């Protein structure tokens, strides 16, 4: 029972902090210096890490992919692998769905204790991660968009600098004014190989954080067919062009989740016989269009509430319309690129779901006791969250926090 309650705290919280919570959960039975969770589902941050900073900051995707390829799903092992640039003893678990857990044990504990229990606990955590990503919650989308933007910027800057340096080396080494042909040839080959490897690494990193619209839509179509397998409605799918610009991962996940939400709402209408689901992408926006041609009894207000959080997070527009006995339509426009950086909004993006709830209530002028009563938590918990909000927003008073929230467009009403 104690394990069950403790594990609940691991999976109940912001996704980007799950590695730290899981590390604390495992610390007593599986003492470790570092923990890494590697999952391709999470765009922007496929590596979720906790532990020794000097180690976790050096862990590469290439190392994790190589380790993953050597493992059999579902069988925890104690082995050695190159992690953070050095060969280390590790405890590893590959979940059956492909999510990887790596623990770097303390030197005194190299044998893997209770491997079955570790696999079971990680299976629950890995499933929770996949579910949070599949549902594309606003928390996940905000964190993923910020991570994707920073990652793309870092990759571009690194690639440009490295490519310039390597091209300069190649130009110099190819100069006929240099002697020692053999040395020059060897250096040229090394620089050429490094340049190819750099460009490949950039493509590999982008592949983790982007999806082609046609592939994302094909997955969405499969999910919808599975959801409506017992429904009698005829469904027409209109796929985006195959050569359309790749989607940032968070946009692809949001589009699938929002399309599923819309389709379920349409399917709840009585006498629905035909449904059209289409995506189009013009390079700036992905447009989701779902419509029927007969019922027109869509619960527009309820559907708007379901879509609002994701739409607000990604700056999407939602247009819903229903005319009785004529038809219903849902049109969603998702921008592919994040808006220009605005300092207030950037700071607000660092707040988790509970902190945003507290900030909205602070913006209404409510004190800690009233906030605690409304959220069903203790007053000390509210004080903790308020302190976290002030720190993340880099302000010193509740009034400053409320003013910043209002300037950034955070409504006092959730």
Of 15-24, 53-62, 178-187, 237-246, which one has max mean pLDDT? 237-246
Q: Say what the pLDDT of residue 250 is.
A: 80
Higher per-residue pLDDT: 401 or 334: 334
**String of b and e for 223-251 (b: at least 16 CB within 10 Å)?**
bbeeebeeeebebeeebbeeebbbbbbbb
DSSP 204-251: HHHHHHEE-HHHHHHHHHHHHHHHTTT---EEEEEPPPTTSPPEEHHH
Q: Say what the pLDDT of residue 6 is.
A: 81
Rounded Cα–Cα distance for residues 36 and 13 (Å)? 18
Residue 130 has pLDDT above 70, yes or no: yes
Q: Say what the pLDDT of residue 181 is.
A: 65
Long-range contacts at 317-324 (CB < 8 A, ≥ 24 apart): 322/296, 322/297, 322/298, 323/296, 324/296, 324/297
Reading the block at residue 106, the tokens are 């303390």
- What is the pTM for the complete model shown? 0.50
Higher per-residue pLDDT: 366 or 338: 366
Rounded Cα–Cα distance for residues 259 and 266 (Å)? 11
Rounded Cα–Cα distance for residues 290 and 329 (Å)? 6
Q: Residue 158 CA to chain centroid, in angstroms?
A: 22
Q: What is the DSSP letter of 29?
A: T
Give the pLDDT band (50/70/90) at residue 296. confident
The domain 2-135 belongs to what CATH superfamily?
GAF domain (3.30.450.40)
3 state SS of 202:
helix
Higher per-residue pLDDT: 30 or 195: 30
Give the pLDDT band (50/70/90) at residue 139. low
Residue 59: in which H helix or E strand, if any? none
Model confidence pLDDT, tens digit, residues 81-127: 999 889 999 999 999 888 999 999 987 556 888 999 999 999 999 98
Q: Say what the pLDDT of residue 278 is.
A: 96
Q: Classify domain 343-407 by CATH architecture.
A: Orthogonal Bundle (1.10)
Residue 412: in which H helix or E strand, if any? none
List, in sequence order, the alpha helices (H) in 61-137. Answer: 61-69, 115-135
Residue 245 has pLDDT above 70, yes or no: yes
CATH 3.90.180.10 fits 213-335, yes or no: no
* Whole-number average pLDDT of the chain: 80
Q: What is the mean pLDDT of residues 20-45?
A: 85
Q: Residue 315 CA to chain centroid, in angstroms?
A: 16
Q: Name the E strands within 260-308.
A: 274-281, 285-292
Q: What is the mean pLDDT of residues 277-300?
A: 90
Radius of gyration of the chain (CA): 25
Q: Say what the pLDDT of residue 150 is.
A: 47
Give the pLDDT band (50/70/90) at residue 281. very high
Rounded Cα–Cα distance for residues 285 and 147 (Å)? 20
């Amino acid at each position: 029972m104690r394990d069950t309650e403790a594990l609940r705290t691991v999976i109940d919280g912001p996704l980007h902090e799950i590695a730290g919570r899981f590390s604390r959960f495992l610390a007593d039975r599986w003492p470790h210096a570092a923990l890494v969770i590697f999952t391709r589902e999470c765009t922007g941050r496929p590596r979720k890490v906790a532990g020794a900073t000097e180690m976790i900051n050096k862990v590469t995707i290439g190392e994790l992919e190589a380790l993953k390829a050597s493992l059999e799903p579902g069988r925890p092992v104690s082995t050695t692998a190159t992690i953070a640039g050095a060969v280390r003893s590790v405890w590893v678990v590959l979940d059956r769905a492909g999510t990887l857990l790596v623990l770097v044990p303390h030197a005194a504990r190299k044998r893997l204790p209770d491997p079955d229990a570790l696999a079971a606990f990680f299976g629950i955590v890995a499933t929770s991660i996949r579910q949070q990503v599949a549902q594309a919650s606003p928390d996940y989308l905000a964190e993923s968009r910020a991570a994707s933007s920073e990652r793309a910027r870092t990759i571009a800057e690194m690639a440009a600098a490295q490519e310039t340096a390597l091209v300069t080396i190649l130009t110099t080494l190819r100069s006929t004014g240099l002697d020692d042909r053999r040395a020059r040839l060897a250096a040229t080959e090394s620089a050429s190989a490094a340049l190819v490897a750099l460009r490949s690494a950039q493509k590999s990193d982008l592949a983790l954080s982007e999806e082609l619209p046609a592939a994302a839509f094909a997955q969405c179509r499969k999910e919808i067919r599975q959801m409506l397998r017992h429904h009698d409605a005829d469904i027409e799918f209109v796929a985006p062009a195959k050569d359309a610009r790749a989607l940032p991962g968070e946009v692809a996940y949001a589009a699938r989740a929002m399309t599923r939400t819309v389709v379920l709402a349409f399917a709840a209408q009585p006498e629905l016989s035909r449904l059209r689901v289409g995506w189009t992408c013009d390079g700036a926006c992905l447009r989701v269009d779902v419509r029927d041609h007969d019922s027109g009894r869509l619960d527009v207000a309820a559907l708007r509430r379901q879509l609002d959080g994701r739409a607000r997070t990604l700056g999407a527009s939602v247009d819903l319309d229903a005319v009785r006995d004529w038809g219903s339509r849902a049109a969603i426009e998702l921008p592919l690129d994040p808006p220009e950086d605005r300092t207030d909004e950037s700071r607000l993006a660092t707040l988790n779901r509970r902190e945003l709830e507290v900030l909205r209530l602070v913006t209404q002028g409510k004190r800690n006791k009233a906030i605690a009563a409304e959220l069903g938590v203790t007053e000390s918990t509210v004080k903790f969250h308020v302190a976290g909000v002030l720190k993340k927003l880099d302000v010193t008073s509740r009034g400053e926090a409320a003013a910043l929230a209002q300037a950034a467009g955070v409504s006092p009403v959730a």
